[in-house]
A and B are shown apart, each in its own frame.
Chain A
Amino acid sequence: MDIYLAQLMNGLVYGMLLFLTAAGLSLIFGLMNVVSLAHGSFFMLGAYLAFAVVRETGNYWLALLISPCLTVLVGLVVERFFMRRLYRRGHLDQVLLTFGFTFVFFDAVRSIWGSDIRKLAPPVSLEGSIALVGGMFSTYRLFLLAFGALLALILWAVMEKSRLGAMVRAGVDDSQMAAGLGANIPALFSGVFGAGVALAAIGGVVAAPVLGLYPGMDGDILIPSFIVIVIGGMGSLRGAFVGTLLVGIADAFGKAYVPALSLFLIYLLMAVFLLVRPQGLFGIKGGVAPAGMVVAARAALSATLRVKVIAALVLLALACYPLLVPDYQRTLVSEIFVFAIFAMSLDLLLGYTGLPSFGHAGFFGLGAYTVIVLGALFGLNGWTGVLIAVPLTALAAALIGFFCVRTSGITFLMLTLAFSQLLYSIAFKWRDVTGGSDGIGIPDRPNIFGWSLSEPIVMYYVTFGFCLLCYVGLRRLIASPLGHAFIGIRENESRMRAIGYSTGLYKLLSFTIGGALAGLAGGLYALFNGFVSPEVLHWSASGDILIMVMLGGAGTLLGPVLGSAIFLLMKNLVSSYNDHWMMIIGIIFIACVMFFPGGVWGILSSRIAGRKPDSPPRPGTTPAEGIASGDKAPTGAAPGASMTVDGAAR
C-alpha cells in the first residue's frame, strides 16, 4: 500500500514541478501565440541563480526570493528588446528567436557553473521526513506539494477572479479586440511573459534540491512541459494543471512498474489524446496557423545567363577543390555536403510546405543508427545499410507524420519535437543495440567501385554527388504539380482544402519525403563518421539543422546548403579558438532572425539577380510582403473573427 502511496507522491511532486513551467508556457502561448523555447532555460537559470545565492548566503529562502526576480529581469530583456521587435513578423520567427537564446543561456550557465551536476540542499528546516498515513515522506517533497498547490491556487484566483486576470483572458480570446477597448497589449504581453518566467524560475529553484542542477536541465523540463500542454490544451490553466498531474503520475508509476516502457508511457498518453481530442483536454485553440511562417525567402531565382555562369563556376570549383587541399578540409566539406542534404530535406517541410518541424534530427539519427547497427551487429555492408535506412525512415516519418500532420504551426512544432525526443530516449536506453550514451561504431567503411570511403577524397566526391542529386531531385519536385500543392498548403491550407486538395495527405507525403531524405543524409553521415551516438537525435540537433536552414534562407534550396556550410565552418573555426562557440552561434542566429529574415541566400540572391536587397519586392511573389499585409490587415479587419471559431470549437 505505502509503495503505491510513495509512487503517487513522486508523481505528484514531479507533476507540480512540471506545472510551474507548463502553466507559464501555456499562458504565454495563449496570449502571444508563441512557444517560448527559452522557457526551460529560465527554469535552469532560476535553479542556478538560487544555487549561487545559497552558496553566498546559505539562505535558501532568500534564494527563492532573489533568483526569480533576477530571472524575470533577464526574461523581460528578452521580451522587450528582442521578441517585441518581431511582433509584426510571423510567430515562428519569435519561436526561433527564443531557440537562439537557449544556446546563449546554456553556454552562459556552463561557463559560469561548469558542466558537472550540482546539488542544492533543501533548507535545514525542511530536512528529514514525516510519517503520514502509513508511510514516511520527505518533508521537502511535502513542502513542494503544498507550495505548488498554493501557487496554482493563487494563479487560478488571479486569472479567474481578478480584473487583471479577466484582461489576460480577454487578450487570450482576442487580443485585437481587447486593444480596441483600451487594453495596452504590449504591456500585457510583457506582464504575462514576465509572470511566466517567474513561475519557471520558481519552479527551477524548488526543483533544484530534487532534480539536481546540470546544463541540459532546460530541455529535460521543456519537453515534458510540451507534452503536458498538448494533453491539457493550449492556453488553458486548468489544462496545464490536469495535464501535469496526469503526466507526473503516469511517469512515476511507469518508472516503478514498467521501467522498460516508462519512457513511452507519456508519449503514448499524448498520442491517445491527439487521436481522441486534438485540441487537448481544455483547449480552446487548435493548431494556430503558421502566420507568415518561414517564408521570408525569395521565390526561385530566375534562370538568367548570369546565374547559369555562376552556377557552373561554383560546381567546377567544388569539383576541383579536393584536389588542392589537405584531408582535413576534404573531410570538413564532406560533412557540409551531408548536412546540406539534411538541411534541404528539412526545408522541403519548413520552407516549402510550411511545416515547422523541430524533430527532424529524429529521422537523420534513425538513418545513421540503421546503417551503423546493421553494420556492427550483423556485418552488413554500409551501402546495403543505406538502402534499408531510407525506406525505414520513410516508414517512421509516415507513422509519426500520421499524428503530427493533424496539427499545424506551433502544435506541430511541439509534437515533432516530442516524437524526436522519443527516438532519442530509445537510442539512449536500448543499450544492447545502440550502445546507449557511449554510441556505437562500425569497424570499416564500404567501398565504391573499388575505392574505399575511408579515403577523404572518395568520401568527398560521394557526398558531393549525393548532395547534387538531392538538389536536382528536390528542384524538380518543387517545380512539379506536387511541389506546387506543397507550396499552396504553405500559403493557405484552408484554401487548398476548399479547392479539393486533401491537404492532410499532401502534408503527410511531404513529411515522408523529407523524412526519407533526412534518413539518407543520416545514412551517409554514418558512412562518413563511422560512429553514431544519441546526440545526433537530440532536440538540439533538430534545432541546429533548423538554424542552418534559417541562416541560409528557408523556402529556397541553395539557402540550406549555404546555411549548413556557414554553420559548420563557424562551428569548426570558432570552436578551435574559443570554448564559447554555442554562445557565438546563438547570438549570430538571434541577429539573423531579427535582421535578415531571408537568410544569407536571401541577401545574396537579390544581389546576383541584380536587385538591391532593400528594393521593393515584386508584388505577390515574395512571402515577406504577404507578412507585411497579412499581419496588420487581417488582424485589424477581423477583431473577433478568431473568436467565432473558438466559440464554435466548443
Chain B
Amino acid sequence: MLELDAVHSYYGDSHILQGVSFTVQEGEVVCLLGRNGAGKTTTILTVMGYITPRSGTVRYQGQAIAGLAPYQVARRGVGFVPQERGIFPSLTVRENLTVFSRQPGSALQAAGQAVKGASAPRAPWTLERVYKVFPRLHERERNLGFQLSGGEQQMLSIARALMLNPDLLVLDEPSEGLAPMIVNEIVTVLRGLKNEGLAILLVEQNLHTALALADRHHVMNKGEILFSGTSQDLERNEDVKRRYLAV
C-alpha cells in the first residue's frame, strides 16, 4: 500500500536520502532501523509530505503522493505519530483526541479502498474504544496536554493517530526515552493493532522493540538502505547488527 522508489530528499543543499526504496504491504509492520542521522526520520517526513523529494516516487494505495501537503497525505488515511509526540499543550486530552478525528472510510480513504478492492473491515476507533485500550488517558481526560508525563504523551499521540481511523500508521521512535514498563505497554498495544491487520511503518533504534513487532526490517545508514530482511534474517546477520546497530 506504500511504495517508495529511488527517493532522494534534501535539506537545502544537503543530500539526505540517497535513493531510498521499500514497500509496506497491506497488514504488514515494516521497521526502519539505523543510528542517529541515518535518514530514518527524513524518510518518514518525506512520506508524510513535510519534505518534497527532488526525485523518485512515493505511492500510497497506488497514487503518487510526493509533493502533496502533509494534510492531504493524512487525509488519505495515514496516521502520524512524530518523534516528539506533538501533543497540543493547550488542548485537553479529550480535545487532542477529537480535534482532527475522522470516521473510517471518509471520502479520500474510500476512493483509495475502491482502487484496491474491498479490504477486511477493521473495528472503527472511537473515543470509548481508545479509552478502553488506554485507560490512563480516560483518567486524564480533562488534563491539558502539557500536564502529561512522557509515557502518557506517547500514548496520547498514538491514540490521537488512531482516532483518524488510518489505514497506515507511521510511528517515529515510539519507545524513545520511556521507562521499560511503558515501552512494554506500548509494544502490546502496537502488537494488537498488527493482529487487527493495520499496516504500520515504524522507526526504531531499539532492536528488541523492532524484533518484537516488525515483519520486515530495513537498516539505513547515510541515507541509504543497506540491509533488508525479515526478523530472522536480521537476527542472524551479526555483521549488520554490529556495524550499523552497535549491538
Measured CB to CB, the residues of A under 8 A from B are 163, 166-167, 169-170, 172-174, 176-186, 284, 619, 625-626, 628-630, 632-633, 635-641, 643-644, 646-647, 650
Q: How does the 8 Å CB contact mask read for B71-103 relative to A, with 1 for contact and 0 for none? A: 100110000101111111111000110111010
- 5 chain-A/chain-B pairs, Cβ below 8 angstroms: A173-B89, A180-B50, A181-B100, A284-B89, A640-B87
Partner of B100, one of A178, A633, A641, A646: A178
A630→B161 CA distance, assembly (Å): 27
Residues of A within 8 A of B171 (CB): none
Partner of B102, one of A182, A284, A628: A182
Partner of B74, one of A167, A169, A181, A650: A181
Verify B95–A166 contact, CB threshold 8 A. yes
Verify A177–B82 contact, CB threshold 8 A. yes
Partner of B45, one of A173, A181, A636, A646: A636
Partner of B12, one of A185, A625, A647: A625
A633→B96 CA distance, assembly (Å): 25
Instruction: Tell yes or no: B160 within 8 A of A by CB.
Output: yes
Residues of B within 8 A of A167 (CB): 99-100
CB of B104, distance to nearest CB on chain A (Å): 14
Residues of B within 8 A of A630 (CB): 12
A460→B52 CA distance, assembly (Å): 55
A646→B156 CA distance, assembly (Å): 18
CB of B233, distance to nearest CB on chain A (Å): 31
- Nearest residue in A to B85 (C-beta to C-beta)? A640
Verify B12–A626 contact, CB threshold 8 A. yes
CB of B59, distance to nearest CB on chain A (Å): 19
Verify A640–B86 contact, CB threshold 8 A. yes
Residues of B within 8 A of A183 (CB): 71, 100
CB of A110, distance to nearest CB on chain B (Å): 41
Verify B86–A180 contact, CB threshold 8 A. yes
CB of A236, distance to nearest CB on chain B (Å): 9
The bracket for how many chain B residues form the interface is 35 or more
Instruction: Tell yes or no: B164 within 8 A of A by CB.
Output: yes
Instruction: Tell yes or no: B107 within 8 A of A by CB.
Output: no
CB of B215, distance to nearest CB on chain A (Å): 25
Instruction: Tell yes or no: B145 within 8 A of A by CB.
Output: yes
Verify B51–A633 contact, CB threshold 8 A. yes
CB of A283, distance to nearest CB on chain B (Å): 12
Residues of B within 8 A of A626 (CB): 12
Residues of A within 8 A of B25 (CB): none
Residues of B within 8 A of A619 (CB): 13
- Nearest residue in B to A644 (C-beta to C-beta)? B84
Verify B82–A182 contact, CB threshold 8 A. no
Verify B80–A181 contact, CB threshold 8 A. yes
Instruction: Tell yes or no: B48 within 8 A of A by CB.
Output: yes
Verify A180–B82 contact, CB threshold 8 A. yes
Partner of B91, one of A166, A625, A635, A650: A166
A170→B74 CA distance, assembly (Å): 16
* Additional A-B contacts beyond A169-B88, A181-B80 (15; CB < 8 A): A166-B98, A179-B69, A179-B71, A181-B74, A181-B100, A181-B160, A182-B102, A629-B10, A636-B45, A637-B11, A637-B42, A639-B50, A640-B83, A641-B84, A647-B145
Q: Which of A170, A284, A650 has the most CB of B within 10 A?
A: A170
